[in-house]
Structure 1
Amino acid sequence: MTESSRVELTPAAAALLRRLTEAHGPLMFHQSGGCCDGSAPMCYPRGEFRTGGSDVLLEELRVEGVGEAVAFWMSASQYALWSHTRLVVDVVEGRGSGFSLEAPEGVRFLIRSRLVGG
């Protein structure tokens, strides 16, 4: 991670992304900012979730052992609220959304954040 990075991964999140990439190919995240599961980052096969003009590409995450970067997208309205933070993608036990690739693993991705200067 560089100082200008907007998104980083915990070691647990990186390990899970390696496993998911082996099973599903290149990946992407999208965080919509809606309630419930919409407030968690959702992991999809890259390109399966259609992004558009109301989405912001925050980072192309490089994961050791994964060939293609993992794109992290966020809705523009959610980004406006989180623009002063560095997002940390983590993994916790428990079931998240059935649409996110990690759901069958019995874990879910979770965002933690840290304020950044600006």
Structure 2
Amino acid sequence: MVRDASGKVSATPGALTLLAEIIADHGPVLFHQSGGCCDGSSPMCYPRGDFLIGEHDVLLGTIGEDTPVYIGAAQFEVWKHTDLTIDVVPGRGGMFSLDNGRERRFLTRSTLCEVPPA
């Protein structure tokens, strides 16, 4: 079962514009926050049916009209005290991400939230 941490993610207007372009070309998509060594701040954008969500993934929430954003449980434990914002910057997206080749790519920015006392 996927854990739900809804409300931990938002998107900038620029990211929503790029997202709308990608959805127009590919249909419904989802994001999975990369945990790789090179793309740690790159949310990967996939067609909804092409990426299997695992039982240890965490749903951070949705952006746009209904685009889900997931993160692996281990990475969520590290980032659970942050609010994440999907933004867009110049550059190339991840090799398998739908933003690749558009000369703009998604980037995750984080803001530290108040950490409750132990």
**Counterpart among 77, 91, 100 of residue 97 in structure 2:** 100
Distance apart, 1:58 and its partner CA: 1.1
Q: TM-score, normalised by structure 2?
A: 0.86
> Match for residue 50 of structure 1?
52
* Cα distance in structure 1, aligned partners of 2:34 and 2:92: 18
State whether residues 61 and 68 of structure 2, in contact with CA within 8 Å, keep that contact through their aligned partners in structure 1.
Answer: yes
Q: What SS does the aligned partner of 1:36 have? A: coil
State whether residues 41 and 109 of structure 2, in contact with CA within 8 Å, keep that contact through their aligned partners in structure 1.
Answer: no
* Cα distance in structure 2, aligned partners of 1:96 and 1:35: 15
> Match for residue 77 of structure 2?
80
State whether residues 12 and 91 of structure 1, in contact with CA within 8 Å, keep that contact through their aligned partners in structure 2.
Answer: yes
Unpaired segments of 5 or more residues in structure 1? none
Q: TM-score, normalised by structure 1?
A: 0.86
Q: What SS does the aligned partner of 1:51 have? A: coil
> Match for residue 60 of structure 1?
62
**Counterpart among 26, 32, 37 of residue 39 in structure 2:** 37
* Cα distance in structure 1, aligned partners of 2:57 and 2:40: 14
Q: Is residue 91 of structure 1 aligned with residue 88 of structure 2? A: yes
Identity %, equivalent residues: 50
Q: Return the letter of the residue paired with 1:41.
A: P
State whether residues 93 and 101 of structure 2, in contact with CA within 8 Å, keep that contact through their aligned partners in structure 1.
Answer: no
Distance apart, 1:38 and its partner CA: 4.7
RMSD: 1.5
* Cα distance in structure 2, aligned partners of 1:10 and 1:17: 10
Q: What SS does the aligned partner of 1:8 have? A: strand
1:48-72 per-residue CA deviation (whole Å, 9 max, x = no partner) reads 11111121111122x2xx5xx1010
* Cα distance in structure 2, aligned partners of 1:12 and 1:48: 25
> Match for residue 7 of structure 2?
5
* Cα distance in structure 2, aligned partners of 1:54 and 1:39: 20
